Amino acid sequence: MIVSIPALFGRYENQDGIMISNLTVAIRSNHKMTFREKVSMTWRLSIPAMIAQLTSIVMQYIDAAMVGHIGAEASAAIGVVASSTWLFGSLLIAIVYGFSVQISHAVGANDKWRIKNVFKQGIVVTIAFSLMLMILGAVLSGPLPHILGANKAICGNASKYFMIYAISLPICQIQYYSAAALQATGNMKIPGILESAMCFLDIIFNFFFIFPTNTYTVLGIEITPPGLGLGVTGAALGTAASQLVIAIIMFYFAAIHSEQLRIDLRDGFMFDSGTLKRAARISLPAAFEQVALTGAQIMSTGIVAPLGTVAIAANSFAVTAESLCYMPGYGLQSSASTLVGQSIGANKKRLAKNFAWITVGMGMIIMTVTAVIMYFICPFLIGFLTPDAGVGALAARVLRIELMAETFFGASIITAGALRGMGDTLAPSIMNLISIWGVRITLSYFLVSRGYGLIGVWIAMSIELTFRGIIFLIRLKTTKW
């Protein structure tokens, strides 16, 4: 009988009385895990990632609230370039997949030399890529808001915000890659803690950068903290500063502290054409997928922008509020990719399939629950984000439409992670392309042209997310493991 529930980073005793020290050893062992053990391992592996994602969303809520209190135009300035920042960020993450998936496979196979060599190659390639994106982003920052159809009143702040974001891309890349490499080894704890810490740092930096020097009364005591009063620009600088601190610490834990990834300069390394080709096969479809998704977001922004400042701000706040529902799904996505990847590396395809369905089922349940809760509390949350009653009412109305699709949205998010763990990124990219461009954009344009405004955009989103979840579940069911 099972003596204790599996622990994520500690030891647990299985039904045969065998003490297993960590996730990797558990997957490689000859012990046949029970369903309860698989669920427990999945849950415990996912908790740090989900907490990090949720903390990140809390940070976004507070960021949005800080900027929202400056005014609707400040929120709109950030909102109009939000989809473009998602595009650049998703490209950074896509290239990370090409190496993190190979690291998880090497960990599952217990190939210690390959783990380190893939990690070192990934550092060079991903940073070089981020530098190219930085240059491109800096060049585009000026004309971008105009291209997206933004009101002239917000174009200046929007350009400054995107310029600072572009300059910080190499910092973001170091953070993303170090976190993904640690997660690929089964270490969700350190990335979870550090990403949560980044949220708190962001709040502190934002406070000093966004607001001017002012006097506040706390518990009857007057304090006057210094402030730069930079507004929208301060929001970008605050986020970049917090990412810099965490990127340095995250890289330390990956490249120096981690036994599996630790870099020894005396060993040197060589570019392996096989590793680079496999990285390209994984990353290019993933990048294409992200371009399809975030490119559609940019197109959607172009559809929303002519509807006016209130619609842009409401759309931005609704997206921020909704993220509280789907971020647990992205935490489970990381777990799915790690569990499936290490199982494939250990040549345990049945176990990989089991972990895929367990994470998907768990995610669909969690996101259904969060959607129900959000349906009732969204007016209060959006009221926290903005004092503008008109913006808040519209944001809550459109969000409630989309919440109907959260269950299937969760299915698509986590299935993509499971498929990525086995190295399958081409099929998800094609499915996303068909779904978001063939359904969401087409239907959004049609409904807006018929006078449905922002509500039409979110009706189209809800229909598309449901369709996407269904086709991803079909893909998972028919995958040849």
Is residue 374 within 8 Å of 297, Cβ to Cβ? no
Using CB atoms within 10 Å of the CB of residue 17, give its burial: 0 to 12 exposed, 13 to 18 middle, 19+ buried.
Answer: exposed
- Tell me what pLDDT residue 4 has: 37
Per-residue pLDDT of the chain (481 residues; tens, 9 = 90+): 233 333 333 444 444 443 334 555 666 666 677 788 888 778 877 777 777 666 666 666 566 667 766 767 777 777 778 778 878 888 898 899 899 989 988 988 888 888 999 999 999 999 999 999 999 999 999 898 888 777 787 888 889 889 999 999 999 999 999 999 998 888 888 988 898 888 888 888 888 888 776 766 666 676 666 767 777 888 889 889 999 999 999 999 999 999 889 988 777 667 788 899 999 988 888 888 777 777 777 787 778 878 888 888 888 888 878 877 887 888 888 888 888 888 888 888 888 899 999 999 999 999 999 999 999 998 888 887 777 788 888 999 999 999 999 999 999 999 998 998 888 888 888 998 899 899 999 999 999 988 888 999 999 999 999 999 999 999 999 887 6
Collect all residues with Cβ–Cβ distance below 8 Å to 249 and sequence separation of at least 6.
Answer: 194
With tokens 């698509």, the residue in question is: 412
Element (H, E) at 223: strand 221-223
Residue 215's pLDDT is 66
DSSP 8-state secondary structure symbol assigned to residue 404: G
**Amino acid (1-letter code) at residue 66:** M
Q: Which two tokens stand for residue 321?
A: 């509020």
Q: Residue 131: what pLDDT?
A: 97
What DSSP character marks residue 441? I
Question: What is the reported pLDDT for 103?
Answer: 93
The predicted structure's pLDDT at residue 57? 64
How crowded is residue 215: how many other Cβ atoms within 10 Å of its Cβ? 8
Q: CA of 300: how far to CAs of 60, 219, 270, in Å?
A: 21, 46, 43
Residue that the structure tokens 């926290």 belong to: 384
Beta bridge partners of 228: 212
Residue 342 CB-density burial (10 A; 0-12 exposed, 13-18 middle, 19+ buried):
buried
Rg (the chain; Cα; Å): 22
What would the two tokens of residue 342 be?
A: 């290490």
pLDDT of amino acid 31: 67
pLDDT of residue 136: 95
Which residues are paired to 19 by β-bridges?
A: 13
Using the structure block, give the residue that is written with the tokens 């939000």.
Answer: 82
The answer to whether the beta carbons of residues 132 and 207 sit under 8 Å apart is no
Report the pLDDT value the prediction gives residue 23, as an integer from 0 to 100. 58
Amino acid at residue number 404:
M
Which is nearest to 79 in space by CA: 234, 329, 227, 300? 300
User: Are the C-beta atoms of residues 425 and 289 closer than 8 Å to each other?
Assistant: yes
Q: What DSSP letter does each residue of 88-150 carry, written as one string?
A: HHHHHHHHHHHHHHHHHHHHHTT-HHHHHHHHHHHHHHHHHHHHHHHHHHHHHTTTHHHHTT-
Two tokens, residue 69: 């209190």
Q: What is the pLDDT of residue 335?
A: 84
Q: pTM of the entire structure?
A: 0.76
The first and second tokens of residue 231, run together, are 């507004």
Q: Which residues contact 71 (CB under 8 A, 6 or more apart)?
A: none
Tell me the CA end-to-end span of the chain in Å, nearest whole number. 30
SS3 113: helix
Orientation angle between helical segments 35-68 and 349-385, nearest 10 degrees: 30
Cα 139 → chain centroid? 25
Helix (H), strand (E) at residue 76:
helix 72-108
Are 60 and 67 a contacting pair, CB within 8 Å?
Answer: no
Q: Residues 6 or more apart from 310 whose CB is under 8 A from it?
A: 72, 388, 390, 391, 394
In the prediction, which pLDDT does 64 show?
Answer: 64
- Residue 429 has a pLDDT of 87
Angle made by CA atoms 75, 235, 377, in degrees to the nearest 5: 50
Across the strands, what pairs with 20?
12
